[in-house]
Structure 1
Amino acid sequence: MDAVDLDLAQVRAFVATAEHLHFGRAAGELFLTQQALSKRIARLEDVLGLRLFDRTGHSVALTAAGERFLEPARRALAAADDAIVAARRDDRPLRLDVWGHLFDPMRTIGQVVARRPDLPIEPNLKRGLPEVVTALGRGDGDAGFGRVHALDEPLPGGLAHRLVRLAPMAAVMSEDHPLADAATLRPADLRGTTVWFPAEIGKLDFLDRFLADFGLSGEFGGVNLGLDFFLGHLRAETGHASLLPADVPVPDGVRSVPLTGPVPLYSWSLIWRAREQHPVLRSLLAEFAAAAREHGWLDYDPAVHWLPPTELDTRPVTVPSEGRPPARRPASGLG
């Protein structure tokens, strides 16, 4: 077999397109025009002497050769990124600002870091997204993790973000709440229960839209004193309930009941400076992508799940699954 020298920029273009099956979204992820992305993939196909994608109208699918090439291509990019990190490594870890601490974002960070404990990452809790955006703009941080869709306007220029997890939500309440013994609950079952949260409703876009969509009532305000106080309030107030990611453990006296029909999903994203990237960032993004593939973190079915309407990408899925008609995708969150 003749030796072939692969251009990693071309391989990266292929992997991004294979993961999105959409040239526009892949180009956005790589900060390229669609024309430039298409040229890189065409050159890669010329070098390999193989067609990697079938393009039919607006539909994109991997060929058999493309399917075979995808996983080795991912490994090649991961090895290249690790080489860059090793060459550039200094004593400063990637500073990862984390917000949304009542929904325990550190559980997700911990699962990703456990995959690559060698990655130098230093998480720091921040009050909210505006503070993280300001810090990134000043160069005081390298990346952030939290709910990016809480912004009322687009991110400032120079910042990018990517959706990395859709977390199923559960209803949490005192074990003495009338609904506490249910195996599952529908959002509509919470009618007649006060949905409580220790913050102003203007800061809670996800819960605000959830309440509006399902005709629920809420009580918001007070001082946010952290997750322990939040759960302690729910344990004491038997008429109150709230929402937490379903994988967040709760103490004795509190019940976490999975929500279904539909399952609300909470969006977690990474945010970073597009042009001044810490050398560890690509490896961190790759580990989030691998965890999403392994655990189904980005699974979304509009017949099963609920997202706020503002988080839905109205472009159809190119290849419907299990014979269902094309459905809306969750927005990719690419800046």
Structure 2
Amino acid sequence: MELRALRYFVTVADELHFGRAAERLHIAQPAVSRQIAQLERELGTRLFDRTPRRVRLTAAGHRVLDAARETLAAADRVRGAAGAAGGTMRIGIGAGFTTRLERGIDALREASPFDVVLVDLPLTARLAALRHGEIDLALARGVHAADGLEVLPSWTEPLLAVLSRRHPAAGRTAVGVDELAESTLRLPSRDQDPALHDAVTSALGPSARLGRPAGTPQHTVVEVGSDPGSWTVLPADQAAEVRSARVRAVPLRPRMTIAGSVITPPDLPGRCAAAHAAAFGDGLTSG
């Protein structure tokens, strides 16, 4: 019996509605129904009476609900004890999070000591690893929802145009997208980070002339630095980590931003999730 199934059961019992429970859990309704059905098979009893018009707990469901709440509370206490004793936090990351990671880890360690393992993965793999319990939380940009996970908006970053120093606009204090219309926009392939890719292309609109996909953000910067007829877009935190002397990051006009989030499993206690979001965030006012 999985804690996840108990968490889903308690949520349905609270809402007495599978659709609303699925919304709270940020997953599809059929996934909730499957977990409840599996739990009922394991326990050998029905937990809910379901009709097209209502859902209500059976007598067995009421008994199981009390035990499920106690079990989940005990699991939270175990997590808390492990953290107090000094456990390991596995954090899924991508490029451009160094300063945010350092600040967030220091803030969390003020409450309790722990070891850190950073796991660098493309976004899709990062979210899959979190769902499978292979990491404990993830940082991501441009993600607004993720099935089976809790997405906690935590910060915003300006998007910056990254240009070759030989580009005509490289010396400006800001540059409009329309002023770059004759230059080729180079972005990593959508497979690298679909949320960031979609956020950038959506923000820039149809006036941006897309070139062939590049590799990683680091490779993109190298290629842009060698070609004054091209440019790319990076979030400010990521642009700050670029060490190439051949490019310059210029603010876009009008200002464009991207949201960043801390992503956690749905069964993480609310107070822990809030602490994580606060530690790695900045009140949604970054930049």
Q: TM over 0.5: same fold?
A: yes
Which whole-Å deviations, capped at 9, do the CAs of 1:258-313 have from their partners, x for residues lacking one? 1122x111121111112145996443223245x327xx23x9xxxxxxxxxxxxxx
Equivalents in 1 of 2:162, 2:225: separation in Å? 9
Correspondence list, 1:88-167, <5 A: 88-99=83-94, 101=95, 104-118=96-110, 120=114, 122-147=116-141, 149=143, 155-156=146-147, 158-167=148-157
Q: In the alignment, is residue 177 of structure 1 matched against residue 167 of structure 2?
A: yes
Q: Is the 8 A contact 1:194 1:217 kept in 2?
A: yes
The code of the aligned residue for 1:147 comes to R
Equivalents in 1 of 2:86, 2:149: separation in Å? 25
Deviation at 1:164, TM superposition (A): 0.7
Deviation at 1:200, TM superposition (A): 4.0
Say if 1:148 and 1:95 are closer, same or farther in 2 by CA, change over 3 A.
farther
Equivalents in 2 of 1:288, 1:113: separation in Å? 8
Secondary structure of 1:107 counterpart? helix
Correspondence list, 1:24-103, <5 A: 85=80, 88-99=83-94, 101=95
Secondary structure of 2:224 counterpart? helix
Q: Is the 8 A contact 2:93 2:139 kept in 1?
A: yes
Secondary structure of 1:199 counterpart? coil
Report the counterpart of residue 224 of structure 2 in structure 1. Answer: 234
Q: Is the 8 A contact 1:96 1:143 kept in 2?
A: yes
Equivalents in 2 of 1:177, 1:88: separation in Å? 50
Equivalents in 2 of 1:174, 1:209: separation in Å? 23
Deviation at 1:246, TM superposition (A): 2.9
Alignment length (residue pairs): 209
Over the aligned positions, Cα root-mean-square deviation in angstroms equals: 3.6
Query: Could you list the runs of 5+ residues in structure 2 that have no partner in the other structure?
Result: 1-22, 26-75
The code of the aligned residue for 2:165 comes to E
The code of the aligned residue for 1:190 comes to L
Equivalents in 1 of 2:117, 2:209: separation in Å? 35
Secondary structure of 1:271 counterpart? strand
Work out which of the residue numbers 260, 267, 271 in structure 1 matches 2:263. 271
The code of the aligned residue for 1:244 comes to L
TM-score (norm 1): 0.53
The code of the aligned residue for 2:153 comes to L
Say if 1:107 and 1:236 are closer, same or farther in 2 by CA, change over 3 A.
same
Q: Is the 8 A contact 2:103 2:280 kept in 1?
A: no
Report the counterpart of residue 315 of structure 1 in structure 2. Answer: none
Greater relative contact order: 1 or 2 (C-alpha under 8 angstroms, separation 6 or more)? 2
The code of the aligned residue for 1:221 comes to P
Secondary structure of 2:279 counterpart? helix
Deviation at 1:205, TM superposition (A): 0.9
Which whole-Å deviations, capped at 9, do the CAs of 1:57-83 have from their partners, x for residues lacking one? xxxxxxxxxxxxxxxxxxxxxxxx9xx
Report the counterpart of residue 278 of structure 2 in structure 1. Answer: 286
Q: Is the 8 A contact 1:96 1:121 kept in 2?
A: no
Deviation at 1:201, TM superposition (A): 7.7
Say if 1:282 and 1:201 are closer, same or farther in 2 by CA, change over 3 A.
closer
Q: Is the 8 A contact 1:201 1:208 kept in 2?
A: no
Q: Is the 8 A contact 2:178 2:207 kept in 1?
A: yes
Q: Is the 8 A contact 1:129 1:148 kept in 2?
A: no
Report the counterpart of residue 67 of structure 1 in structure 2. Answer: none
Report the counterpart of residue 260 of structure 1 in structure 2. Answer: 253
The code of the aligned residue for 1:271 comes to I
Which whole-Å deviations, capped at 9, do the CAs of 1:126-147 have from their partners, x for residues lacking one? 3323212222222111111112
Identical-residue share of aligned pairs (%): 19
Query: Could you list the runs of 5+ residues in structure 1 that have no partner in the other structure?
Result: 1-26, 30-80, 300-335
